A = this chain, B = another copy of it.
């Protein structure tokens, strides 16, 4: 690969994707609402992960910018923000910075307001992937990778020699092909094209069972394999 990527979100998913994509010789900029604020944090996050500034010292090749700067930098943009704030973050990234670009959406519409495990803020008759595609019709939205833990997203061979499945959902066949190439660069072998972006209803609705499996198995490194 040798692509400019803008990754929106400085959480675990954004950082994990940024580090992996930079390691694959891509030019990566991570975008956040307020870079100065993000850099000023010096406490671990709520999951005990070190603050962004510590992470960035270990990944000096990854630049940090605003959401708009990161989206503008990318030939491809990745939405790695929390689902509850994704539409707002993409507004700040700017429609003009998304237009015509592949927008890889790895977010989940998790709603933590009703207790644990979280419910979905949109499901069944709509999906976050579709909401993003409707709001940004010029972006080439591809829903993918959101059905597993971040470490597996970027390195599926950590588990069962990558003998498990990732899905791609998009209205744009060429965008799916570009994302599929990127997934292969991560080590993915079993990539199922489910169809248009409405199929994201199906993949986003896998999260509730993922959350229960996390509870039952007591570890995050598992994934769905579609045996066929």
* Chain A interface residues toward B at CB < 8 A: 114, 119-120, 123-125, 159-160, 163-164, 167, 192-195, 199, 201-203, 205-206, 208-213, 215-217, 219, 221-228
Determine if B192 and A213 form an interchain contact, defined as CB atoms under 8 angstroms apart: yes
Q: List 28 A-B contacts (CB under 8 A).
A: A114-B125, A119-B124, A123-B123, A123-B124, A123-B205, A124-B208, A164-B225, A164-B227, A167-B209, A192-B217, A194-B212, A194-B213, A194-B215, A194-B216, A195-B216, A199-B216, A202-B213, A205-B205, A205-B209, A206-B206, A206-B209, A217-B226, A222-B226, A223-B227, A224-B226, A224-B227, A225-B226, A225-B227
Hey, which chain B residues are within 8 Å of A192, CB to CB?
213, 216-217
CB distance from A192 to the nearest CB of B (A): 6
B114 and A119 contacting across the interface, CB-CB below 8 Å: no
Taking a contact as CB atoms under 8 Å apart, the answer to whether A202 and B194 are in contact is no
Contacts of A163 in B (CB 8 A): 227
Query: Secondary structure of the A side of the interface?
Result: mixed
- Whole-angstrom distance between the Cβ of A45 and the nearest chain B Cβ: 26
A208-B212 contact given A222-B227, A227-B160, CB 8 Å threshold: no
Closest beta carbon of chain B to A208's beta carbon, Å: 4
- B-side contacts of A164, CB under 8 Å: 225, 227
Q: How far is the CB of A184 from chain B (nearest CB, A)?
A: 19
Closest 4 interchain pairs by CB?
A202-B209, A222-B228, A202-B208, A205-B205
Q: How far is the CA of A164 from the CA of B201 in the complex (A)?
A: 23
A159 proximity list for chain B (CB < 8 A): 227-228
* Chain B residues with CB under 8 A of A123: 123-124, 205
With contact pairs A123-B124, A160-B227, A164-B227 given, residues A211 and B216 touching in the complex (Cβ less than 8 Å): no
Closest to A205 in B: B205
